[in-house]
Structure 1
Amino acid sequence: MWSRLLTLCIILSLVAAAAWALWPRPISVETASIATGSLVVTVDEDGTSRISEVFHVSAPILGRLKRIGLHVGDAVTQGQTLASMEPVAPGLLDERTRRIAEAAVQAAAAGVTMAEAGLAQARATDTFAQEDLERSILLSERGLVSTQALQRARLAAETAQQSMDAAEATLQMHRQQLQSAQAALIQGDAPTAGPCCVNVMAPVTGRVLAVFSESEQVLQAAAPLMDIGDPDLLEIQVDVLSSDAVRIVRGARASIVDWGGAPFRAEVDQIDPIATTRVSALGIDEQRTRVTLRLLDGPETRTGLGHGYRVTAQIVVWEAAEVVLVPLGALFRTDADWSVFVIEDGTARLRTLSLGQRNGESAEVKDGLAVGETVIMHPGDTLADGGSVVAEQ
């Protein structure tokens, strides 16, 4: 009898242990409480810092440039001498070039002669046609010439007049070609006595941004010498998607981050009215619009930031002070709707939401959640509506 009781107890213990092992346990979940707060929606894009006014300094004359002693980063003041150039005469023609130019002159002169002969012929033809027209008119008045013959005479007179006009234009063209060919034979004269050099002055106070011609050399007029600008007068240029650009307004505040220092303030100064096609890193064609930001903080807030540096701009497109917020980590899709799991008495309940604006952290709840309710963060695939849950400590 005792052996039967012992066997029965062992069997009941095994059954209880199996039931306890198979009994569903509450799922441990991470939770968040629904509360109100401020929501700021921004457009975040990479941008480039640039000096708002860059002055391109070029050679004012044809001449020999004296070696420039300035280097990139050097400070200059308005009116300071940047470079000196010694005027030089145009180069002399070599034998081959001279002969080619002389042949061009002879050909142009022959063209003028031919055009003059053509004009003389056209004038003679026009004189004859006009006289013939006058005779035809007189005979027509007497009824001795048909109307058709009179019309032919008028047509011949008009054609002759137009031919003479064309011959005059052709002659003028050949005369201009002759002048151009003769100009190619003009030899440069020796420089006249006068000032040694022409000085190139700084148009503005700032720093040297680039030096294009540093060594002594002969430069043509308008050849680039250097770029000058004031590093304190910076602005930010950002290329945003055209779909984001329509949400940005002039005067919208922005923040400049990820440039190597503390964030500083800016505002939208200009939005270009056109968009250009850019290819993304994934090979997708995108329509992007340039947005220019004006900096609001002084130069002391961005020490070290220079021309052409990479930055990240966060442009505000929407903000509200008191809205019901739900963390994005609690949201998931059920068909076409946004949903969350709400904890009610230790049980997960599926709730469909109506959302408004959202940023990278939170979303505005328009309907479906109340302040103080608890939602489950990052719900797993094993969690279902009605499941037992326990919040992690």
Structure 2
Amino acid sequence: MKRSWPRRAGYAAAALAVAGAAWWALREQPAQVDVATVTERSMRVTIREEGIARVRDVYAVSTPIAGHMSRTVLEEGDSVVAGKTIVAAIHPLDPPLIDRRTEAELLAARDAARSGVGIATSELGRAETSLKLAEEELERALKLFGPGVISESTLQRNRNEVALQRAAVDAARATVGYRQAELASAEARLLQPNSASRNAADCCVTLLAPIDGTVLAVHTRSEQAVAAGAVVAEIGDTSKLEIVVDLLSADAMRIAPGTKADILEWGGEGALSATVRKIDPAAFTKVSALGIEEQRVNVVFDLDKGAPGLGHGFRVVAELAIWDCPSCLQVPISALFRSGDTWRVFRLAEGRLSEIAVEIGRMNDETAQVLRGLSPGDVVVVHPSDVLADGSPAVARH
């Protein structure tokens, strides 16, 4: 009997070892997860879109008459001087430059252009009157707002009305300028070449550079017959560039003239500072790379400084800050997932996962602002998989 006790103790130890091995093999294994820490720091939300640089005012040099054009000697990039550099020479063809029928058509076009100037001038006067009335209403609203007679929303509506009327005045003035340019063009088509514009030997019409600048494009280079109005070359001042970016219409609503932007990926070192000058009032439809129709709006930026080497039609990227927070609680976007109508995250604490509902504010490409649900220092799972569940064990992957 005394010799059986060591044997029984050995059997018991073996049984415990087998049971422990079975428990270890069958126990729930903790999942290895990637984690990030919820932090409180500065955050910025930006809009980033591609655009192009272009010369602010491009002058198209076109032929005033039909004729035979001599070969132009200009090349893209050549510098020209206003009123001195010859762009092209046109030898008139028979019959004469303007016959009676063409002259009658040109006279009618000139009279129509004059009427257009009158209509545009009347519209400008109406817009200026509306602006004056809106400004008077705003002055009265400011006086009534002080003692609390009117609400702040009423005052804001008056301010918005003044801004709209000012934009209408600017548009009307631009229309007047456009109509005046049409009139000038119609009157110019009636002009016969005089001795100053003819070469006495060849009896040709010379096209001179309209401004001091650079040749941007040469459309008609070889000697050939050309029709009246054919564009020979485009000339512009490359020192006066602007940036044009087409934004989603929803994004365009979040900025205003005067908004600052950084111009990136323009080919030089560092970022260029720019300011929004104009937001087009009308959108256009553009098909994205994914085949989705989007409503886009052209936004024009003025560069705060010149950019050596940047030219007409060059690609750039514009980045606009639409929201800045000096210190706010943030979580990586990769940690968020949807459950119904709420955002959720998995929080890792003491080796266990907890599924937490969070309230999210602003988002950028990397992080999201946390309004409720998490605290600084909380550890959350990034890129959570479908196998994770509330209460399951997990360890951070090193």
Is this contact kept in 1: 2:358–2:374, CA < 8 A? yes
| Aligned-partner SS, 2:286 | strand
Q: 1:268 to 1:5 in 2, by over 3 A?
A: same
Residue in 2 that maps onto 1:329: 334
Q: 1:359 to 1:84 in 2, by over 3 A?
A: closer
Counterpart AA for 2:326: A
Residue in 2 that maps onto 1:67: 71
Give 1:227 shift.
0.4
Instruction: Provide the C-alpha distance between the structure 2 equivalents of 1:329 and 1:41, rounded to a whole number of angstroms.
Output: 17
Question: 347, 353, 359: which is aligned to 1:348?
Answer: 353
Residue in 1 that maps onto 2:48: 44
Instruction: Provide the C-alpha distance between the structure 2 equivalents of 1:336 and 1:193, rounded to a whole number of angstroms.
Output: 79
Counterpart AA for 1:280: S
For residues 273-288 of structure 1, the aligned pairs below 5 Å read: 273-288=281-296
Map Cα deviations across residues 65-89 of structure 1 (whole Å, 9 max, x no partner). 2221111122223333233425434
Instruction: Provide the C-alpha distance between the structure 1 equivalents of 2:90 and 2:301, rounded to a whole number of angstroms.
Output: 43
Map Cα deviations across residues 194-241 of structure 1 (whole Å, 9 max, x no partner). 464433221222221111222223434332110011233222222222
Residue in 1 that maps onto 2:100: none
Q: 1:379 to 1:195 in 2, by over 3 A?
A: same
Residue in 1 that maps onto 2:39: 35
Residue in 2 that maps onto 1:56: 60
Residue in 1 that maps onto 2:373: 368
For residues 145-156 of structure 1, the aligned pairs below 5 Å read: none
Say whether 1:257 aligns with 2:264. Answer: yes
Q: 1:331 to 1:297 in 2, by over 3 A?
A: farther
Instruction: Provide the C-alpha distance between the structure 1 equivalents of 2:92 and 2:306, rounded to a whole number of angstroms.
Output: 47
Is this contact kept in 1: 2:92–2:205, CA < 8 A? no
For residues 135-214 of structure 1, the aligned pairs below 5 Å read: 194=200, 196=202, 197-214=204-221
Instruction: Provide the C-alpha distance between the structure 2 equivalents of 1:280 and 1:298, rounded to a whole number of angstroms.
Output: 32
Q: 1:254 to 1:221 in 2, by over 3 A?
A: same
Give 1:51 shift.
1.5
Instruction: Provide the C-alpha distance between the structure 2 equivalents of 1:294 and 1:287, rounded to a whole number of angstroms.
Output: 23
Instruction: Provide the C-alpha distance between the structure 1 equivalents of 2:201 and 2:292, rounded to a whole number of angstroms.
Output: 60
| Aligned-partner SS, 2:16 | helix
Give 1:334 shift.
1.8
Counterpart AA for 1:376: V
| Aligned-partner SS, 2:285 | strand
Percentage of pairs with the same residue: 41
Is this contact kept in 2: 1:66–1:83, CA < 8 A? no
Instruction: Provide the C-alpha distance between the structure 2 equivalents of 1:5 and 1:286, rounded to a whole number of angstroms.
Output: 80
| Aligned-partner SS, 2:258 | coil
Is this contact kept in 2: 1:83–1:199, CA < 8 A? yes
Counterpart AA for 2:299: V
Residue in 2 that maps onto 1:298: 306
For residues 212-231 of structure 1, the aligned pairs below 5 Å read: 212-231=219-238
Residue in 1 that maps onto 2:185: none
Q: 1:235 to 1:5 in 2, by over 3 A?
A: same
Map Cα deviations across residues 238-277 of structure 1 (whole Å, 9 max, x no partner). 2222222211222222222344444322222211111122
| Aligned-partner SS, 1:78 | coil
Instruction: Provide the C-alpha distance between the structure 1 equivalents of 2:232 and 2:90, rounded to a whole number of angstroms.
Output: 15
Counterpart AA for 1:284: I
Instruction: Provide the C-alpha distance between the structure 2 equivalents of 1:19 and 1:193, rounded to a whole number of angstroms.
Output: 107
Counterpart AA for 1:32: A
Question: 229, 248, 256: which is aligned to 2:255?
Answer: 248
Is this contact kept in 1: 2:63–2:90, CA < 8 A? no
Give 1:29 shift.
2.5
Say whether 1:385 aligns with 2:390. Answer: yes
Instruction: Provide the C-alpha distance between the structure 1 equivalents of 2:249 and 2:264, rounded to a whole number of angstroms.
Output: 22
Give 1:345 shift.
2.8
Instruction: Provide the C-alpha distance between the structure 2 equivalents of 1:346 and 1:361, rounded to a whole number of angstroms.
Output: 26
Instruction: Provide the C-alpha distance between the structure 2 equivalents of 1:307 and 1:277, rounded to a whole number of angstroms.
Output: 24
Q: Which has the larger radius of gyration?
A: 1
Q: 1:238 to 1:86 in 2, by over 3 A?
A: closer
Give 1:347 shift.
2.4
Map Cα deviations across residues 321-341 of structure 1 (whole Å, 9 max, x no partner). 221111111111121111112
Give 1:356 shift.
1.0
Is this contact kept in 1: 2:332–2:366, CA < 8 A? yes
Give 1:193 shift.
9.6
Q: 1:83 to 1:377 in 2, by over 3 A?
A: closer
Is this contact kept in 2: 1:77–1:205, CA < 8 A? yes
Map Cα deviations across residues 41-82 of structure 1 (whole Å, 9 max, x no partner). 122222222221111011234443222111112222333323
Q: 1:199 to 1:52 in 2, by over 3 A?
A: same
Instruction: Provide the C-alpha distance between the structure 1 equivalents of 2:347 and 2:285, rounded to a whole number of angstroms.
Output: 45
Say whether 1:18 aligns with 2:22. Answer: yes
| Aligned-partner SS, 2:74 | coil
Cα-Cα RMSD? 2.6
Counterpart AA for 1:310: R
| Aligned-partner SS, 2:228 | coil
Q: 312-321 or 268-277, which moves further after superposition?
A: 312-321
Residue in 1 that maps onto 2:177: none
Counterpart AA for 1:267: T
TM-score by length of 2: 0.66
Counterpart AA for 1:293: F
Give 1:7 shift.
5.0
| Aligned-partner SS, 1:381 | coil
Question: 252, 269, 272: which is aligned to 2:277?
Answer: 269
